[in-house]
Every structure is written in C-alpha cells, then in structure tokens.
Amino acid sequence: MEATLLLCAALVAAAPADIGLASSANFIVHAPDHRIAEDVLRHAEQYRVQLAQAWLGHTLPEGEGPVIIHVRISPDEDHAAMLPLKRPHRTHHIIWLKTSEQLACGATLAHELLHCILATKFGERLPAFAQEGCAGLEDDAAVRAVRRRILADMAFSGQYPQLRSVLDRQLIPANDQTAYTVSCSLAEFLFARGSRGTFLQFAVDGAGGNWDAAARRHYGYSSLSALEADWQRWVSNQMRLAAGDGTLRR
C-alpha cells in the first residue's frame, strides 16, 4: 500500500486546514470539508460491499484494492474519472469527482467504484466496453436518458457502429457517447440472457482472442455477427415499446 500512503501524505501536506480528510482501510477521501469527506467515505464503504457482492459474488478482503477519492463539489456539473496507480495488476486506484454532493455520495460514486472493483478483480483482462457496460448500470436517470436518445437515433436510422470495433477498444473516452451507449445497451441485452458472471467471462474470453468463439460458448450464437444482429433487433423493439405506438421515432 506504499503508493497509497505516499499520495495520502502529499494530500495532507498540501491541504488547507479546513479541507476534509476521512479514511479507512479501504479508502482515503479528500473533500471540501470534514462532513462531506465522512459522508462520501460512509457511502463508499457501503457501495464496496454491495457492488462486490453483486458482481463478484463475494466481498473484497479488507484493504484489497484501496482507493483514494478526491471530491470537488459543483452543483451544476457531473464529471468523474478513475486512474489505476499500479500496473499491470491495478491494485490501487484514485477517483476524481467534480459533481453535486448528492451524486458524490450516489450514482457517480457508485459508477467509479465499480470500475475499481472490477479492475481489482480482473486487472487489464476486462475490456473497456465491459467496464463501461457494467458501471453504466449505476448511472442516474439523466445519464440513462441521454443514452436512450442515442439508441433511438440508431434504431430510427438503422445506422449502428460495428460492434466488433467497440468491443476491441482499449479505451472509451468520456466524450464518446456512442461507444458508451453501445457498451451499456449490449451489456443490458446480455444480462437478460445470462448471469453477470457469464457476461464478464464472455468479455474476458473475447478480449483474449476470439469474439466469435466467446459468443458461441457463452450465449449460443454461431458468431459475433449473429449476436450483433439479435442485439440490433432487440434495440429496435425496445425503442418501439418506448414510443408506445409501435413506431420508431427520435
């Protein structure tokens, strides 16, 4: 935990006296004041247990995959990022949050913490689309609404990005809403056809060399192209249902 301790020491040394710091065996939180730091820490501990149980089937050992959380409160913004501090095992992480106090203790915090939990478990074996597809389940209603509009445009126009190109991405930039939307939609589609563990294993196996074999092994499709076609039909049906009258519209 040397990197964590060094960074913590740097934060303490640089922090004004009125800056809040809170810590546990799993987290160090740096926030505008002590109350916010303690609140974020409390919610982070709760999410760490809940998310690990939901996705891994067990909690992480105390102190495994420690996270530093840096919080700036900005009521009209919602920005976040996660960075691994130790490669290739990615055993330490830092999260930056610039968001409202509600989201710093809610959906935005949960989204970034799930990234940390999955990275602690899988390292770099889990591809970017799977990371974002899983974490996207934790997003709030406003973010989900943006994705629904992008999906409606795809379904209305019939123009979808090539699925393989999204699955092979090593990084999905924060401003690439199309790739984020495809990742989250595909994850939701596959969650309805198997467990969360099946989805994660599909992602790891496919990234290891053969998406066609992974689609066949885990979901019974003859190829990734067959899975892709079924996913696109599912999206179109979802958008028709959302329209309420069986038609597709933006």
Count how many domains the chain has.
2
Co-location of 11 and 108 in the same domain: yes
pLDDT at res. 8 = 52
Poorest-pLDDT segment among 62-71, 80-89, 104-113 = 80-89
Q: Residues 136, 231: one domain? A: yes
pLDDT at 3 over 90: no
Q: Do the domain assignments include residue 150? A: yes
In this prediction, residue 124 carries a pLDDT of 83
Whether the pLDDT of residue 61 is over 90: the answer is yes
Q: Kindly state the average pLDDT of the residues 53-73.
A: 94
Instruction: Flag whether 250 is in a domain.
Output: no
pLDDT at 4 over 60: no
Percent with pLDDT over 70 in the chain: 88
Inside any domain, residue 192:
yes
Q: Label residue 11 by pLDDT band (50, 70, 90).
A: low
Helix axes 177-191, 128-135, angle to 10 degrees: 70
Taking residues 43-62, what's their average pLDDT? 96
Question: Residue 5's pLDDT is what?
Answer: 46
Q: Does 153 lie in the same domain as 178?
A: yes
- End of a domain among 101, 124, 147? 124
Terminal alpha carbon distance of the chain: 50
Does 54 share its domain with 120? Answer: yes
The answer on 112 and 88 residing in a single domain is yes
Q: Which of the residue ranges 5-19, 27-41, 68-82, 188-202 would you say has the lowest mean pLDDT?
A: 5-19
Among 16-25, 60-69, 101-110, 154-163, the range scoring the smallest mean pLDDT is 16-25
Cα(122)–Cα(200) distance, rounded to whole angstroms?
9
Residue 248 lies in a domain: no
**What is the domain extent for residue 134?**
129-243
Same domain, 144 and 88: no
Q: Do residues 194 and 219 make contact, with C-beta atoms less than 8 angstroms apart?
A: yes
Q: Per-residue pLDDT for 241 more than 80? A: no
Is 249 inside a domain boundary? no
Residue that terminates a domain, selected from 78, 106, 124: 124
**What pLDDT was estimated at residue 125?**
86
Q: At what angle do helices 211-219 and 196-207 cross, to 10 degrees?
A: 160
Residue 177 lies in a domain: yes
* 226 assigned to some structural domain: yes
Whether pLDDT at 111 is above 50: yes
Domain final position from 65, 89, 124: 124
Instruction: Compute the average pLDDT of residues 214-229.
Output: 97
pLDDT beyond 70 at 9: no
Residue 202 pLDDT: 97
Asked whether residue 173 falls in the same domain as residue 189, the answer is yes
Separation between Cα atoms, residue 150 and residue 33, nearest integer Å: 38
- The per-residue pLDDT for range 128-170, each reduced to its tens digit, is 999 999 999 999 999 999 999 999 999 989 999 999 999 999 8
Q: In Å, how far are 146, 160, 178, 250 from 149, measured between CA atoms?
A: 5, 14, 11, 7
- Spatial distance between the Cα atoms of 178 and 6, rounded to a whole number of angstroms: 38
